[in-house]
Amino acid sequence: MRGVSRIDTIFFNKLAFYAYHGAFAEENRLGQRFLVDLELSKDLKPAADADDLELTVNYASVYEVVKGVVEGNTYTLVETLAETIADHILTNFPVLEVRVRVTKPDPPIPGHYESVGVGIHRGRT
């Protein structure tokens, strides 16, 4: 259909990793679980019409890129981790926007809560 704007979403829920990010020495030494949620914005109609993987985003490739960022580096802030994931997604995949949510289910913070984390939204300019 001509003149119709389409922005579709590919999503990844709770990708789980064990890594060594954090502001406290014990986080960098002992590590902890991190969960990553992603939303990638892209027009998916051409891929759907052609039933062609080359016209969309390979989910396994996205997973490997995120795994490499999360498990292959150490950051003080989850904000830096989220920003780095977003940068790698926008650099390596033909998407318009990316939303990244990084959750720490078990941070060393006293109190009662389910989890803490950050969410960012980045797009091409």
Residues belonging to the active site: 104
Sign of CA dihedral 60, 62, 66, 71: positive
Strand partners, 8: 42
Q: Which of 47, 29, 41, 39 is nearest to 66 (CA)?
A: 39
1: which residues sit within 8 A by CB, 6+ positions away? Answer: none
Intra-chain end-to-end CA distance of the chain, in Å: 26
Say if CB 48 and CB 112 are below 8 A apart: no
